[in-house]
């Protein structure tokens, strides 16, 4: 534990430094002996949520546990650069590969480097990052979006997901930063990131490119969270669906047509608002989501049906807890990784224009 980090993760009246420390302890308690972090002990594991949980450990200074999680990722990676979509207890439950899940290692490792400055960790895990992002880039469609999944026999799925593509755009950006820190150049990744960012830059085209999941709040805020929308376009998108998803006093709905607010979506919107310079509303949403905190464990319930005042499902996930810690770090500036989302998309000015040619 880093005393400096623990001391600064403090938002009076919302979450104290001691509460943040206990949330980190909760995440660590879910980590398995091999370094993997399932949703909670005994539950399923997907690689994206595993990495986010590791990022939560990094925020509170539990660097050894975070490194164990990254080492598990390298050991569990398949030869093509992917991870199974769903695992449980070391066994594969769904052998398909989710492209966004596979890409997210780059975000976790770049965040770890921002916090710790440990370039040797980047160097040791660079082969895993390179395999993962090469796998992801191979699934890019002619319209720039990514196929959301790949079958076990290597066939990309026909449709793309907005949330997954936006998250993968940030992963590619982080991968390029890792490459630069290690003295590598990956023009193919830059080209893919450019095409993906341009596919995500025009919300009016989303219904032609991505599967219709507009009722999900993640599809609303992820372009802002990951930096593919900034400025007026982001502000317009934020205003358009604020009332559909934000429930004052409770948090953020997972889907617009259900009375179900969730900790992770609420925390991610906090980070998106902070990235857009709207820290006042970010603090309000962060305060509202504390109703999902379990003080006994230090964790967070996945969600609550507000109308019935029922916690559902009866689970506390490591990734929900990590999302809260990342949001707190963004607002407090406690670690070197706190600008992760605010800085997302900053490389776009340096990326080449897309033409009909091929990347070199």
Residue 203 belongs to a domain: yes
CA 295, 297, 302, 306: dihedral to nearest 10 degrees?
A: -30
Q: What is the pLDDT of residue 320?
A: 98
Q: Is residue 359 part of a domain?
A: no
Q: Which residue has the higher pLDDT, 39 or 7?
A: 39
- For residue 355, tell me if it sits in a domain: no
Q: Are the C-beta atoms of 311 and 301 separated by less than 8 Å?
A: yes
Question: Per the structure block, which two tokens stand in for 253?
Answer: 């709905």
Query: In this predicted model, what pLDDT tens digit does every residue of 258-303 receive, in sequence order?
Result: 999 999 999 999 999 999 999 999 999 999 999 999 999 999 999 9
Let me know if 27 is exposed, middle or buried by CB neighbors in 10 A (0-12, 13-18, 19+): buried
- In a domain? residue 262: yes
Looking at residues 51-75, what average pLDDT do you find? 98
Q: Coil, strand, or helix at residue 335?
A: coil
* Total residues found in the chain within this entry: 360
pLDDT at 8: 84
Q: Is residue 97 situated within a structural domain? A: yes
Residue 289 contacts residue 263 (beta carbons within 8 Å): yes
- Domain extent, residue 133, equals 3-350
Distance of CA 143 to the CA centre of its chain: 23
Task: List, for residues 147-178, the tens digit of each pLDDT value.
Answer: 999 999 999 999 999 999 999 999 999 999 99
* pTM to 2 decimal places: 0.95
Strand partners, 255: 216
Does residue 326 lie within any of the structural domains? yes
- State the Cα–Cα distance between residues 170 and 183, nearest whole angstrom: 20
Answer whether residue 360 is part of any domain: no
Burial of 159 (0-12, 13-18, 19+ CB in 10 A): middle
Q: Which residues pair with 156 in a beta bridge?
A: 150
Residue 149 inside a domain? The answer is yes
pLDDT band at 4 (very low <50, low <70, confident <90, very high): low
- Please report, for the domain that includes residue 339, its CATH number: 1.50.10.10
For residue 166, give both structure tokens.
Answer: 């936006």
pLDDT at 351 (0 to 100): 44
- Number of folded domains that form the chain: 1
């Amino acid at each position: 534990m880093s005393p400096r980090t623990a001391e600064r993760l403090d938002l009076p009246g919302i979450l104290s430094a001691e509460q943040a420390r206990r949330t980190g302890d909760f995440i660590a308690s879910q980590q398995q002996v091999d370094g993997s972090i399932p949703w909670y002990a005994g539950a399923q594991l997907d690689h994206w949520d595993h990495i986010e949980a590791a990022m939560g450990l990094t925020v509170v200074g539990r660097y050894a546990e975070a490194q164990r999680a990254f080492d598990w990722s390298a050991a569990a990676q398949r030869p093509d650069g992917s991870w199974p979509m769903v695992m449980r207890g070391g066994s594969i439950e769904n052998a398909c590969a989710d492209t966004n899940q596979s890409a997210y290692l780059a975000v976790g490792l770049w965040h770890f480097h921002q916090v710790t400055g440990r370039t040797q960790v980047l160097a040791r895990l660079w082969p895993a990052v390179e395999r993962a992002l090469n796998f992801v880039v191979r699934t890019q469609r002619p319209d720039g979006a990514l196929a959301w999944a790949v079958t076990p026999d290597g066939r990309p799925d026909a449709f793309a997901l907005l949330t997954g593509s936006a998250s993968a755009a940030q992963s590619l950006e982080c991968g390029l930063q890792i490459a630069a820190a290690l003295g590598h150049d990956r023009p193919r990744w830059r080209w893919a990131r450019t095409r993906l960012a341009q596919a995500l830059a025009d919300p009016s085209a989303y219904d032609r490119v991505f599967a219709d999941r507009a009722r999900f709040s993640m599809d609303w805020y992820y372009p802002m969270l990951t930096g593919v929308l900034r400025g007026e376009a982001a502000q317009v998108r934020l205003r358009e669906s604020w009332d559909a998803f934000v429930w004052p006093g409770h948090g953020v709905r997972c889907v617009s047509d259900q009375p179900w607010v969730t900790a992770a979506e609420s925390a991610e919107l906090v980070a998106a608002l902070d990235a857009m310079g709207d820290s006042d509303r970010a603090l309000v949403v962060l305060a509202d989501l504390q109703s999902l905190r379990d003080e006994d464990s230090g964790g967070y319930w996945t969600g609550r049906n507000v109308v019935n005042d029922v916690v559902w499902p009866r689970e506390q996930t490591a990734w929900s807890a990590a999302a809260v810690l990342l949001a707190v770090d963004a607002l407090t500036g406690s670690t070197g990784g706190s600008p992760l989302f605010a800085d997302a998309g900053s490389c776009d000015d340096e990326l080449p224009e897309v033409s009909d040619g091929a990347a070199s």
